Amino acid sequence: MGKEATLVIIKPDGLIKSLTGNILSRLSETKLKIIGAKLIKVSPDLAQKHYRHLADKPFYEELIKYITGTLHGDDRVMALVYWGEDAIQKVRAIAGATNPEEATPTSIRGAYGRILTSGLFENAVHASSSIDEAQREIQLWFEPQEIVYPLYPAKEIEVPATRKYVWA
């Protein structure tokens, strides 16, 4: 076991139903530390990379619409990194089973998830399921300086002049 990091995403249905506070409260029962948090729009590219292991599933296309917000007409998701003893298992336990109908009623997915008419599991949160998956996902969703703890080896690079938005 030991200390480990895990990625949690509050999916578009969680945000649109104003469940952010409830979900964070449930996750705080784990006593894990939040070491990264941000609200972002999920691009199709990020969605495809995140769910690349499910690309051959019949529900894949709808899953991409789900995580990018197209399905709910709201493209916000909240991404969080939790850190601590047995973090992956602790978060998965509180998140509940993938299928919200099979999830324990007191779990996040059991309480807030549902199965859409299409069959897609709308289940409010994502949680990493292994150490390797957590590392891949955290490195996909976060840059090193966005996490307040040096989780994985990082290096400094010279960035050529770029353009960015500033307040007008």
Catalytic residue annotation: 126
- Asked whether the beta carbons of 48 and 67 are under 8 A apart, the reply is no
Report which residue's Cβ sits closest to Mg ion.
Answer: 129
The Cα–Cα gap between 100 and 37 comes to 25
**Least separation in angstroms between CB 76 and ligand UDP:** 17
Asked if 89 is part of the footprint of ligand UDP (rule: CB under 6 A), the reply reads: no
Asked if 60 is part of the footprint of ligand UDP (rule: CB under 6 A), the reply reads: no
- Per CB under 5 A, contacts with Mg ion among 94-153 are 129
SS3 state at 31: coil
| Residue 60 interaction partner, one of ligand UDP, Mg ion, none, beta carbon < 5-8 Å per kind | none
With 0-12 / 13-18 / 19 or more C-beta atoms within 10 angstroms meaning exposed / middle / buried, residue 127 is: buried
Judged by beta carbon, residue 16 or residue 54, the one nearer ligand UDP is 54
Asked if 48 is part of the footprint of ligand UDP (rule: CB under 6 A), the reply reads: no
Q: Which of 59, 86, 135, 144 binds ligand UDP (CB under 6 A)?
A: 59
Q: Which residues contact 32 (CB under 8 A, 6 or more apart)?
A: 82, 83, 84, 87, 90, 91
Q: Which residues contact 113 (CB under 8 A, 6 or more apart)?
A: 96, 100, 103, 121, 122, 123, 124
Backbone angles phi and psi of 60, in degrees to 5 = -55, -50
**Least separation in angstroms between CB 164 and ligand UDP:** 33
Backbone angles phi and psi of 4, in degrees to 5 = -150, 165
**Least separation in angstroms between CB 152 and ligand UDP:** 21
Asked if 120 is part of the footprint of ligand UDP (rule: CB under 6 A), the reply reads: yes
| Residue 141 interaction partner, one of ligand UDP, Mg ion, none, beta carbon < 5-8 Å per kind | none
SS3 state at 90: helix
The residue ranges that bind ligand UDP (CB under 6 A) are 54, 59, 63, 98, 120-121, 123, 126, 129
